Amino acid sequence: MKQRVSALLRETLGREVVLEKPRDRSFGHFATPIAFSLAKELKKSPMVIAQDLASSFEESDIFSSVESVKGYLNFRLSESFLSEYAAWALQNTTEFAKGDKNGKILLEFVSANPTGPLHIGHARGAVYGDTLLRLGRHLGYDMTAEYYVNDAGNQIDLLGLSIQLHGRENLLDESVEYPESYYRGEYLDALARDAMEKFGFEIFHDESRRRELAMWAKDEVMKIIVKDLGDTNIFFDTFVYESTLYEDWERVMSKMGEGVYEKDAKVWIASESKGDEKDRVVVREDGRPTYLAGDIVYHNQKFERGYDHYINIWGADHHGYIPRVKAAVEFLGYDSKKLEVLLSQMVSLLKDGEPYKMSKRAGNVILMSDIVEEIGSDALRFIFASKKSDTALEFDLAEFKKQDSSNPIFYIQYAHARIKTILSKSSLSEEDILLAPLEGLGENADVLLFDALLLPEVVEDAFNSRQVQKLSDYLKALAALLHKFYYDCRIIGTPNEAKYLKLLMVVALSLKTGLGLLGIEAKEHMSKEDES
């Protein structure tokens, strides 16, 4: 819709024009302050320019009116244009708001260590990534969702040892002491039980088999992680295991050429010359690679697989890590501008205004699965999709358990369910409804129709800006318009029944499509649950 308008403006005015949505509906559907920027070069007042420009659109059948007001150019789309577009959308529901973008994008997200279940911070990155994935795919991009499994390094040994300690304590009744940095939590007891069944109790004392235990355990933990993600409608296409990457190390190192060097019996990357604070060690004195080494091989592998663009979603605490990975990418001979790192900030939780208590059972973290159990996947997804991912977020669980307008997810789903209910109560056939022309609707209905048809622009904007909250905000606003329309306007049994129902079908389509892009199911009907 906006593209059509933009194209027409470009054609008529011979230049690219900024189009915005006017604050006040009475100004029309779209507006541009173009006359202000032209004022200087034409040496005329913005009012006069806007007047002149407005008159050059008189012929267009897309617009019903083009007016100049205080220097702004305000456009009002014609009913026939909106009506045609709406009819097309209802005939092609699965195509609505889809784009024709090209390009292969590799999106890496979550990538939490396979040493324990996901916590609430992981959940945010997971939801953010998955929402971008859905948006990008809807727009036509060929996107791959990838999880990088850090199954090498100290934390894996620590996982093995932690299970041994849990096994000794809980299953063998030995008294053990957990040093500060060991893994804790209920899942370890379960892993220890399974380990005893599989390997026998000797496994808890055999230091030489710790690695074997750990490699088994990380696969078990990954099963938990994959399940938690699946419960939130998040699915990955590929998993890349760090442990499989190192065989490629020699080749990758030589590929970096002068980007790496030896000093003090260690191998360093010359990242300082590429904007990092200092050079970094990639291989320690004892020959063990650092975490960065794995990431270098991994990113080399990513680029060798040949995508047009790469997006990584990292926890904000890793932001300092970006320059060194970008440096490595450049040493490898690739364009680091193709690698985009998005950050997902901290999450803190409240419950009824008090800080949410971390449970000992969970190992003093807030588990994603606990929160999903408490408020549901839909609410969790909506919360994380409602705020810029790179801003710290604090939210109160209680707010998302309420069943009224203070809970935005219920508010939106109620709007959708209301439409479905009213459609089912009408005696008109779908055919009758679809044949009705969307004309002469009146102001309220016109606003609703236009907003419902705005979804494509919102989707594209949300993806391009990587700000998924634009979609959730849009859905909230659209739901509000629907509720208002519903209240103001009697539908069934009026002469306008068919066209109003058609309008509502467009709104429902927009809500359902939008919710789907947020990974949330649009409910067909809602029944009030007992408050208990």
Using CB under 7 A, which residues numbered 375 to 414 contact RNA? 387-388, 390-395, 399, 403-406, 408, 410-411, 414
Pick out residues in 334-373 that bind RNA (CB under 7 A): 343, 345-346
Q: How far is the CB of 317 from RNA (least distance, A)?
A: 4
Task: For tokens 């009146």, name the residue.
Answer: 442
Longest Cα separation, the chain: 89
- Residue 386 Cβ vs RNA, minimum distance, rounded to whole Å: 8
Which of 219, 237, 285, 439 touches RNA (CB under 7 A)? 285
Whether the Cβ atoms of residue 34 and residue 73 lie closer than 8 Å to each other: yes
Does 150 bind RNA (CB under 7 A)? Our answer is yes
322-351 burial: b if 16+ Cβ within 10 Å, else e: bbbbbbbbbbbebebebbebbbbbebebee
By CB under 7 A, name the one of 101, 104, 266, 401 that touches RNA.
Answer: 266
If one asks whether residue 483 binds RNA (CB under 7 A), the answer comes out as yes
Sheet with 339-344, edge to edge strand ranges: 238-241, 142-149, 104-108, 309-315, 339-344
Q: Are 132 and 463 in contact (CB under 8 A)?
A: yes
CA distances from 407 to 118, 126, 481 (A): 25, 22, 16
| Sole binder of RNA in the list 8, 33, 376, 496 (CB under 7 A) | 33
By the 8 A CB rule, do 252 and 297 touch?
yes
CA distance from start to end of the chain: 47
Q: How many CB atoms lie within 10 A of CB 385?
A: 27
| Joined tokens for residue 236 | 């990955």
**Smallest separation, CB 466 to RNA (Å):** 11
Nearer to RNA, 312 or 469 (CB): 469
Residue with tokens 């103001």: 488
Stretch that binds RNA, among 167-175, 226-234, 316-324, 334-342 (CB under 7 A): 316-324
Which candidate, 237, 234, 1, 235, places its Cα nearest to that of 99?
1
Residues 436-475 that bind RNA (CB under 7 A): 467, 469-470, 473
Q: State which of positions 62-121 bind RNA (CB under 7 A).
A: 69-70, 72, 74, 113
37 binds RNA (CB under 7 A): yes
Stretch 232-261: interaction string toward RNA, x if CB under 7 A? ----------x-------------------
- Contact range with RNA by CB under 7 A, out of 36-44, 128-136, 160-168, 215-223: 36-44
Q: Could you give phi then psi for residue 263, rounded to 5 degrees?
A: -160, 140
Which range touches RNA (CB under 7 A), out of 84-92, 97-105, 210-218, 519-527?
519-527
Residues in contact with RNA, shown as a per-residue x/- string from 158 to 197 under the rule CB under 7 A: ----------------------------------------
CA distance 452 to 444: 12
Stretch binding RNA (CB under 7 A), from 208-216, 283-291, 331-339, 441-449: 283-291
